[in-house]
Amino acid sequence: MTTKIAVFASGSGSNFQAIQEAIEHGELNASVALVITDKPGAFVVTRANNFGIPVVELSPKAFENKAAYEAKIIEHLKANDVEWIILAGYMRLVGETLLTAYENRIINIHPSLLPSFPGKDAIGQAMAHGVKVTGVTVHYVDAGMDTGTIIAQGAVDVVDGDREATEARVHALEHALYTNTLKQLFEQ
């Protein structure tokens, strides 16, 4: 049975693209019912359009509060029979409304070996601290910032003084690790 997912993204959507390509190549038994972005016009919209996947663009500022914003998202999720929420560069903390509606069904990927370097610019944080190894973490989402139960991790060597090369290594690992981890979760 195919698992219906929604991918949430705020930026370019490279992780979304890797997930969708894995689906199209038969590597992941899922279907992306829709892409949701909190940044109307983000490049992930172009990527989703290229795959013919519906997009919901919602600006949180247009809503009275976070609960109202998330309630609107839930309307779209329910209308599309979404079973899992997959965060892929979604730069917003998930609130109680979504956490309650999709308890233990929201997954995130973070570009560090959590619990080290949570939050924004994890690669920059790692490089500023001079670590030799960083990585990627896939975890369940809870009310904290990158504090949910860890599902999978992978490590990469930092390229000393070369952020671009380090980011390339992290992104390559993200794309492989996320797809493999989702496959294992959906097959349970």
150: DSSP letter: E
Strand partners, 138: 109, 152
**Between 3.30.450.40, 3.20.20.60, 3.40.50.170, 3.40.50.300, what CATH number should domain 3-186 receive?**
3.40.50.170
pLDDT tens digits, residue range 1-30?
Answer: 899 999 999 999 999 999 999 999 999 999
User: 102 and 81 in contact (C-beta within 8 Å)?
Assistant: no
> What pLDDT, on a 0 to 100 scale, did the predictor assign at position 61?
95
pLDDT tens digits, residue range 54-70?
Answer: 999 999 999 999 999 99
Q: What ranges do the domains of the chain cover?
A: 3-186
Q: Residue 76 burial by CB count (10 A; 0-12/13-18/19+): exposed, middle or buried?
A: middle
3-class state of residue 25 by DSSP = coil
Distance CA 119, CA 89 (A): 11
Confidence tier at 187 by pLDDT (50, 70, 90): confident
Which residues does the annotation mark as catalytic?
110
